[in-house]
C-alpha cells in the first residue's frame, strides 16, 4: 500500500509551507503522511548528516543529528516542490507506484552506503584523537533514533500548521481570507516563540538553576576548609567559607603544595595565594568583586610578584590546569583572584548569562586594577589576565582592544574562546592575508598571537614579540571556538582552508547540515582526550611559559610539568 500523499490544490505542503491563504473548511490531514518531494529531501539530508564534523559521534548522537537534518531536508524538499508548482502554474499530482518504488530502492542503497562511509569517517576521527570507545549496539540503533526524531519533528510541524489553519479559519469570520492567513502566521509564530523561549527555555533554566544552586551549598569530596590565611575562607578571611559555593570551595581547597612547587623549580617556593567570592558572598557583581579584592589584599596578594585575574566559566569553575600551571611556573610567587557570577554550567550560561559573564569580567578586573594602579610602579606585581571558554568572553570585556591589553596588563592567556568573543573576532577577522583562521596572524604577532599547540610553536615564528604578550589557545577541533549561527547558510574560512591537525580533510560545509553537526558537538566538547576539542590541559604549561617567560627552566622541567598537569596532580 503506497503512502498517502499530497498537498491540497490550494495550499501548503507537509512541512507547513503555505501560500498565505487559509485552507478550505472541509480539508483534513493526518499527522503522519509523506510527500514524495519531501521524502527525497529528507533522504538527501539524512545521508549528508553522516559526513564528518569536528568530534567523533556516538550512535545516539548520530541518530539525533540524522533525524534533525532529515526533517530539515523534508521541509526544503516540500518547499522546492511548492515553488516549482507555482512557476509551472499547476496543482499537486499524486505520484504513481513507480516513483515511490524508485525512491524506496534508492533510499535503502544510499542510506546504507552513507551509513557505512560515515562509520569509516568516525573511525578516522577517533584515530586522530586517540579515542578508543566504540559502542556497536548504539551505532546500530542510530537509524531507529533518527526515525523517531524525524517523526517527532514532523508531528510537531504538522501540529503547528494545524494551529495556524484553525486560527486562520477563525479570523476569516471577521477579515478577508488572505489577511486572515497572514495574521494567523504572525499569531502562531509569536506563540511558538513564546513557548520555546519562555516555557521550554525558561523551564530548563529554572530547573537547572534550582538544581545547581542546591549543589552550590555542598562541598566536593576531599575538599576541606583551608587552615592558611592565604586562602579565602581561611583564618582571617573576609569571605566566609560557606559562601564560596561548590566551585569556589574546590578552587580554594585545591592546587599544588609548596613542596610540589619547590620540587619542580628546584628551590624553596612560596605558598600561592588564592582569593575567591561566591554568589552567596555578596549581592551583586560589583560588591562581590570588591570583596574578593579586599580578601586578596588582606592575604598579601598585591605584594606577590605575579597577580592573576581569572574570569570563571558559568558555575564559577576555574580550570585547575590554568592556575596550577601559573603557580608552578612562577615558583609559587603568585596570587589568583576570581568571582562566581552564576549557578549554571557554561552550556546554559551561553544562552542566558552572557551579560553576567561580561559584567563579572569587567567588575573584577576594574576592582583589581584600581588598587594595583595606585601602587608604586617599582613595588607592584606583574598583572595577568586569563580565562577559558565563557571566562575568556568575560575577561575580554574589560578591554577595548590590542593597545588596552598591552598597556594595562603584563600578559594574557585565553583558551577556547567562543566564536562570539568581541576581541577574538576582531583579531581573527583582521588577520594577515594568507594566514589561516584556525591559527591566524594579527599585526605580525606584535602583541596578540594564536596557537593550536604552543609546544610545537606559536606563529609567526621568528618575528619579535616584545612587551606584553597576549595568547589565544584554540584547538582546530574545538566546537566552542567555531560554532556560529552563520554556519546555517555561510561557509566559514576555517572549513574552506586546509584543516587543523586533528580535523579530517574530508570535512566540508553543507548548508543547514554543518550547523546541526557542530551544534551537536557542543555538549560533548570536553569528552575527548586533552589536546582536542574543548579540553585544554598540558597546553597551559607552554602557553604560560610563552607569556610569563620565566628564566632558567629547562626543556626537561617543562616536559615533567606537562605530565603533572595532564594527570591533574
Identify whether the C-beta of residue 478 lies closer than 8 Å to the C-beta of residue 54.
yes
The residue among 510, 525, 533, 529 whose CA lies nearest residue 567 is 529
pLDDT at residue 4 in the model: 40
Identify whether the C-beta of residue 506 lies closer than 8 Å to the C-beta of residue 52.
yes
Cell (9 digits) for 417: 574562546
Q: Residues, the chain, total?
A: 569
Beta bridge partners of 335: 273, 307
Identify whether the C-beta of residue 236 lies closer than 8 Å to the C-beta of residue 295.
no
pLDDT at residue 26 in the model: 38
CA atoms within 13 A on the CB side of 474: 28
The residue among 358, 364, 347 whose CA lies nearest residue 534 is 347
CA atoms within 13 A on the CB side of 504: 19
Q: What is the distance between the terminal CA atoms of the chain, rounded to a whole angstrom? A: 65
Pairing mode, strands 411-415 and 382-388: parallel
pLDDT at residue 186 in the model: 86
The contacts of residue 251 (CB under 8 Å, 6+ apart) are 274, 276, 316, 317, 318, 320, 323, 338
Q: Which helix (H) or strand (E) holds 394?
A: helix 390-396
Identify whether the C-beta of residue 394 lies closer than 8 Å to the C-beta of residue 419.
no
Cis peptide preceding 171, ω within 30 of 0: no
The residue among 362, 405, 371, 348 whose CA lies nearest residue 299 is 371
Q: Give dist(CA 530, CA 211) in Å, integer.
A: 29
Q: Give dist(CA 133, CA 149) in Å, integer.
A: 25
Identify whether the C-beta of residue 336 lies closer than 8 Å to the C-beta of residue 275.
yes
Task: Please list the pLDDT of the chain residue by residue as tens digits (569 residues).
Answer: 334 443 333 333 333 333 333 344 334 445 557 899 999 999 999 999 999 999 999 999 999 999 999 999 999 999 999 899 888 878 888 888 999 999 999 999 999 999 999 999 999 999 999 998 888 899 999 999 999 999 999 998 888 888 888 888 888 888 888 887 888 888 888 888 777 766 666 666 667 666 666 777 788 998 999 999 999 999 999 999 999 999 999 999 999 999 999 999 999 999 999 999 999 999 899 999 999 999 999 999 999 999 999 999 878 999 999 999 999 999 999 999 999 998 777 666 666 667 888 999 999 999 999 999 999 999 999 999 999 999 999 999 999 999 999 999 999 999 999 999 999 999 999 999 999 999 999 999 999 999 999 999 999 988 999 999 999 999 999 999 999 999 999 999 999 898 888 999 999 999 999 999 999 999 889 999 999 999 999 999 999 999 999 998 999 999 999 999 998 86
Q: Give dist(CA 361, CA 353) in Å, integer.
A: 12
Cell (9 digits) for 209: 538553576
Cell (9 digits) for 54: 569536528
Cell (9 digits) for 457: 610553536
pLDDT at residue 322 in the model: 98
Beta bridge partners of 339: 277
- Phi-psi bin for 462: left (phi > 0), alpha (psi -120 to 50), beta? left
Angle in degrees, 0-180, between the axes of helices 136-171 and 177-194, rounded to the nearest 10: 140
What is the pTM for the complete model shown?
0.88
Domain ranges of the chain: 31-173, 223-480+528-568
φ and ψ at residue 227, rounded to 5 degrees: -95, 0
Cα separation values, 46 from 82, 109, 180, 382, Å: 21, 13, 36, 54
Angle at 300 between CA 294 and CA 302, to 5 degrees: 80
Identify whether the C-beta of residue 151 lies closer than 8 Å to the C-beta of residue 66.
no
For the CA atoms of the chain, what is the radius of gyration?
Answer: 28
Identify whether the C-beta of residue 251 lies closer than 8 Å to the C-beta of residue 318.
yes
DSSP string of 376-410, one letter each residue = -GGGS-EEEEEEETHHHHHHHTT--SHHHHHHH-S
Q: Give dist(CA 542, CA 562) in Å, integer.
A: 8
Q: Give dist(CA 450, CA 442) in Å, integer.
A: 9
**Burial level of 496, CB count in 10 A (0-12/13-18/19+)?**
exposed
Q: Give dist(CA 244, CA 252) in Å, integer.
A: 9
What is the sign, positive or negative, of the torsion defined by CA atoms of 108, 111, 115, 117? Answer: positive
Cell (9 digits) for 336: 589568583
DSSP string of 213-242, one letter each residue = HHHTTS--TT----SSTTBTTSTT-SS-GG
Cell (9 digits) for 445: 604577532
Amino acid at each position: 500500500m503506497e503512502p498517502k500523499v499530497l498537498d491540497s490544490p490550494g495550499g501548503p505542503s507537509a512541512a507547513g509551507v503555505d501560500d498565505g491563504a487559509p485552507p478550505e473548511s472541509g480539508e483534513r490531514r493526518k499527522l503522519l503522511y509523506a510527500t514524495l518531494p519531501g521524502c527525497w529531501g529528507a533522504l538527501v539530508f539524512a545521508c549528508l548528516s553522516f559526513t564528518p564534523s569536528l568530534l567523533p559521534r556516538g550512535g545516539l548522537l548520530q541518530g539525533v543529528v540524522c533525524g534533525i537534518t532529515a526533517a530539515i531536508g523534508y521541509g526544503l524538499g516540500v518547499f522546492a516542490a511548492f515553488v516549482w508548482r507555482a512557476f509551472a502554474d499547476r496543482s499537486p499530482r499524486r505520484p504513481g507506484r513507480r516513483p515511490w518504488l524508485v525512491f524506496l530502492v534508492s533510499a535503502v542503497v544510499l542510506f546504507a552506503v552513507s551509513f557505512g562511509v560515515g562509520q569509516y569517517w568516525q573511525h578516522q576521527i577517533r584515530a586522530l584523537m586517540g579515542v578508543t570507545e566504540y559502542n556497536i549496539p548504539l551505532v546500530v540503533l542510530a537509524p531507529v533514533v533518527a526515525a523517531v526524531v524525524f517523526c517527532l519533528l514532523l508531528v510537531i510541524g504538522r501540529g503547528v500548521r494545524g494551529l495556524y489553519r484553525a486560527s486562520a479559519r477563525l479570523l476569516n469570520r471577521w477579515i478577508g481570507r488572505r489577511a486572515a492567513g497572514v495574521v494567523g502566521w504572525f499569531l502562531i509564530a509569536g506563540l511558538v516563540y513564546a513557548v520555546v523561549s519562555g516555557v521550554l527555555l525558561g523551564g530548563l533554566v529554572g530547573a537547572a538553576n534550582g538544581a545547581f544552586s542546591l549543589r552550590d551549598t555542598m562541598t566536593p569530596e576531599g575538599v576541606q576548609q583551608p587552615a592558611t590565611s592565604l586562602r579565602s575562607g581561611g583564618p582571617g578571611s573576609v569571605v566566609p567559607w560557606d559562601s564560596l559555593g561548590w566551585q569556589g570551595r574546590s578552587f580554594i581547597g585545591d592546587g599544588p603544595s609548596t613542596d610540589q612547587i619547590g620540587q619542580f623549580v628546584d628551590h624553596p617556593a612560596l605558598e600561592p595565594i588564592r582569593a575567591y567570592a561566591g554568589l552567596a558572598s555578596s549581592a551583586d557583581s560589583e560588591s562581590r568583586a570588591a570583596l574578593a579584592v579586599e580578601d586578596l589584599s588582606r592575604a598579601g596578594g598585591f605584594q606577590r610578584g605575579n597577580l592573576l585575574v581569572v574570569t570563571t566559566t558559568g558555575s564559577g569553575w576555574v580550570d585547575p590546569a590554568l592556575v596550577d600551571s601559573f603557580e608552578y611556573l612562577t615558583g609559587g610567587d603568585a596570587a589568583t583572584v576570581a568571582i562566581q557570577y552564576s549557578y549554571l554550567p557554561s552550556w546554559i550560561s551561553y544562552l542566558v548569562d552572557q551579560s553576567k559573564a561580561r559584567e563579572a569580567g569587567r567588575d573584577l578586573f576594574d576592582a583589581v586594577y584600581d588598587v594595583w594602579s595606585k601602587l608604586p610602579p617599582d613595588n607592584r606585581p606583574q598583572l595577568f589576565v586569563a580565562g577559558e571558554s565563557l571566562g575568556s568572553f568575560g575577561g575580554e570585556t574589560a578591554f577595548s582592544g590590542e593597545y588596552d591589553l598591552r598597556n594595562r596588563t603584563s600578559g594574557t592567556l585565553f583558551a577556547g574562546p567562543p566564536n562570539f568573543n568581541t576581541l577574538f573576532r576582531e583579531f581573527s577577522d583582521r588577520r594577515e592575508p594568507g594566514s589561516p583562521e584556525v591559527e591566524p596572524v594579527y599585526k605580525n604577532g606584535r602583541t596578540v598571537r594564536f596557537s593550536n599547540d604552543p609546544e610545537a610553536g606559536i606563529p609567526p615564528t621568528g618575528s619579535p614579540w616584545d612587551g606584553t604578550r597576549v595568547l589565544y589557545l584554540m584547538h582546530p577541533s574545538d566546537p566552542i571556538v567555531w560554532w556560529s549561527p552563520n554556519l546555517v547558510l555561510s561557509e566559514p574560512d576555517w572549513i574552506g582552508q586546509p584543516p587543523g591537525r586533528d580535523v579530517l580533510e574530508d570535512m566540508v560545509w553543507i548548508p543547514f547540515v554543518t550547523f546541526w553537526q557542530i551544534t551537536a558537538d557542543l555538549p560533548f566538547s570536553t569528552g575527548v582526550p586533552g589536546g582536542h576539542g574543548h579540553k585544554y590541559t598540558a597546553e597551559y604549561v607552554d602557553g604560560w611559559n610563552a607569556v610569563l617567560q620565566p628564566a632558567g627552566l629547562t626543556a626537561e622541567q617543562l616536559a615533567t610539568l606537562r605530565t603533572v598537569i595532564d594527570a591533574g596532580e
